Amino acid sequence: MKTFIYPEMMVHIPVCTHKAPKSTLIVSDSASLLEDEIARHATIETTTIASTKALDGIRNLEDNSFDIIMLEASTDAALLAHCNRVLKEDGLISMQHPSLDDNSANKQLMEILGKYFKIIMPYRLENGETLLLASKEYHPTADVILHRTDLLEGQQYYNCDVHISTFAMPNYVRKAYLGVIKN
Q: Kindly report, residue by residue over 40-98, the tens digit of the pLDDT.
A: 998 999 999 999 899 999 999 999 999 999 999 888 999 999 999 999 999 999 999 88
The SS3 assignment for 113 reads helix
Which residues share a beta bridge with 70? 26, 94
For the chain, the structural domain boundaries read 5-176
Q: If you classify domain 5-176 with CATH, what class do you get?
A: alpha beta
Q: What's this model's pTM, rounded to 2 decimal places?
A: 0.94
State residue 104 phi and psi, 5-degree precision: -65, -45
